[in-house]
Amino acid sequence: MTAFDDKGPATKGRRFFKLAGMTASVASRYASSRLKSVFLSKERQDEDRKTTNQDIGHRIAQTLGELKGAAMKIGQMASIGSDILPQEIADALKVLQKKAPPVPFRVIEEMIEAEFSLSPQLLYRSFDKEPFASASIGQVHRAVTDDGREVVVKVQYPGVDTSVDSDLAHLKLALKASGLLKINKRTVNELFDELRTHLHEELDYCNEADNVRLFGLHHASQEFAHIPEVVGERSAKRVLTLTYLPGDDINSLDEKGYSQETRNRIGENLYKITASQIFDLKAIHADPNPANFAFRPDGSVVIYDFGCVKHLKHDIVDAISRIIRDSIDEDYDAIDKCLVDLGARVPGGPPVEPEYYKIWRDILLEPFLCEGPFDYGSATIHEEVVKLIPGIMKRLGSFQPAVEVVFVDRVIGGHYGNLRKIRAIGKFIDLIKPYCPVRE
């Protein structure tokens, strides 16, 4: 039985028992693997570890997917955490990025009535009962307002906001029980505190409405970026009404006949949008899921879903600027200091040789360093990074997850994937350089 069925949302008791069962299963599987490893060769131990991680990842993904809501959203966020989770776990959790099944319309109707004391049929001139989109914490319906505006209505699933803390606690316990989090307790707590903060923000649609207004104002003068408008009189804590902005899905670009020139322009605009958010606005749309973007034949970008926004401190933005500049300049001592400032380098930890930084620098900056335009469609940066992940696990005394920039990393990695799907070609370093001035 899933979190949403003919009887409605899952009770707290059902969620508790599902998550507790997952935790017990994960702990048992890990303990069994540890016991068996005593009798295996080093090669067989590595094979068994990977198999165990895959099994654990599938078990976690299955449970979080069934529960939907906060649990599924947490899993989606964790699926980009291959720097803190074994690759097999992160890969297994990627299944949670797929479109979630919708809930019955009566559940949506009840949520709208709870917020406005009126049915959707009375609040809107027309309201589509079939969902336009569905996700982990809510779903979207098309509608038309009384004054004739086409809108989308985002409705939160019932009970999601009250399950965040318990879902997080159980996932944290499961990962600890599995022995998969090879980082210190303080950093684990900081990471989960960051997740908790953003989940609570994302579940407050009044907060999201403020985000939409903030980004709408920021991008107002940029003809290549389109942000919906908030319909305030039809928005509340768990219901958000926005103007409908059409665009082409990332998977439909071939069908729509997008030329290479247009794809390149889209890539350029994604760079402009992201750079201006980080360095000018100091706040970033932090959910790069392809479903949150649409594109138009002129190369412009439509941005949806402003629930997950990361506001950046001035010193963090400055450190991001410096580490890009220092990486281009191959100043590895300066890179080391920047990583300390970003929280990624353990202060006083074992020294890191410049050669190690150079390996990462040459891979991550390939789009900027190569001769001529970079072809994202055939890029293999992600494959090279995966090969280096085991080496990171051996350097945990030197490095740690950078809590302040974990969502920035999520955006950069996510848009790399989007650029690959778009098959953009270009050398976009000139769009970044103004934010990373060279030394005098």
Write out pLDDT tens, residues 282-341.
Answer: 999 999 989 999 999 999 999 999 999 999 999 999 999 999 999 999 999 999 999 999
Q: What is the pLDDT of residues 116-152, one digit of tens each?
A: 999 999 999 999 999 998 877 889 999 999 999 999 9
Would you state the structure tokens that stand for residue 170, as one six-digit string? 């159980």
Taking residue 174's Cβ as centre, other Cβ atoms within 10 Å add up to: 24
**Res. 257 pLDDT band, cuts 50 70 90:** very high
pLDDT category, 181, cuts 50, 70, 90?
low
What is the average pLDDT score of the chain?
87
Q: Identify the pLDDT of residue 243.
A: 99
* Pair of tokens at residue 370: 């190569």
Tokens (6 digits) for 267: 């890539």
Residue 11 in tokens: 């009770």
Question: Over 70: is that where the pLDDT of 41 sits?
Answer: yes
pLDDT of residue 6: 44
For residue 377, what are its two tokens? Answer: 């469609």
pLDDT at position 180: 60
User: What pLDDT does 74 receive?
Assistant: 67
51 Cβ contact list (under 8 Å, min separation 6)? none
Answer for the pair 157, 68: CB distance below 8 angstroms, yes or no.
yes
- Ramachandran assignment for 102, one of left (phi > 0), alpha (psi -120 to 50 degrees), beta (any other): beta
Q: Which amino acid is at 54?
A: Q
Which of 6-10, 271-275, 407-411 has the largest mean confidence?
A: 271-275
pLDDT at 5 over 60: no
pLDDT at position 8 is 43
Q: Is the pLDDT of residue 261 over 90?
A: yes
Percent of the chain with pLDDT over 70: 85
* DSSP calls for 275-305: HIIIIIISEEE----GGGEEE-TTS-EEE--
More confident residue, 147 or 36: 147
Pick one of 3.90.1530, 3.30.200, 3.30.460, 1.10.3470 as the CATH number of 104-156+204-245. 3.30.200
Q: What is the predicted pLDDT for the residue at 26?
A: 73
Neighbouring C-beta atoms of residue 358, cutoff 10 Å: 14
As a whole number, mean pLDDT of residues 20-35 equals 73
Interhelix angle 160-178/42-67, rounded to 10 degrees, is 170
Give the pLDDT of residue 140: 96
Q: What's the pLDDT band for 98 if we cut at 50, 70, 90?
A: low
Q: Is the separation of the CB atoms in 163 and 64 below 8 Å?
A: no
Q: Is the pLDDT of residue 413 over 80?
A: yes
Rounded CA-CA distance 153/141 in Å is 5
Tell me what the mean pLDDT of segment 264-271 comes to: 98
Q: What are phi and psi of 239, to 5 degrees?
A: -135, 130
Which regions of the chain carry the CATH code 3.30.200? Answer: 104-156+204-245
**H helix or E strand, kind and range, residue 126:** strand 126-127
Q: Is 289 left (phi over 0), alpha (psi -120 to 50) or beta?
A: beta
Chain segment 368-389, per-residue pLDDT in tens: 999 999 999 999 998 898 888 7
State residue 7's pLDDT score.
41
239 touches 228 (CB < 8 A): no
60 token code pair: 């976690």
In residues, how long is the chain?
Answer: 440
Report helix, strand or coil for 249: coil
The CA-to-CA distance between both ends of the chain, in Å, stands at: 64
Across residues 151-169, what is the average pLDDT? Answer: 87
DSSP one-letter code for 40: S
- The more confidently predicted of residues 5 and 375 is 375
Q: What pLDDT shows up at residue 11?
A: 58
More confident: 174 or 274: 274
Model pTM?
Answer: 0.84
Q: Which tens digit of pLDDT belongs to each residue from 87-96? A: 777 777 776 6
pLDDT digits (tens, 9 = 90+) for 7-24: 444 556 666 677 677 777
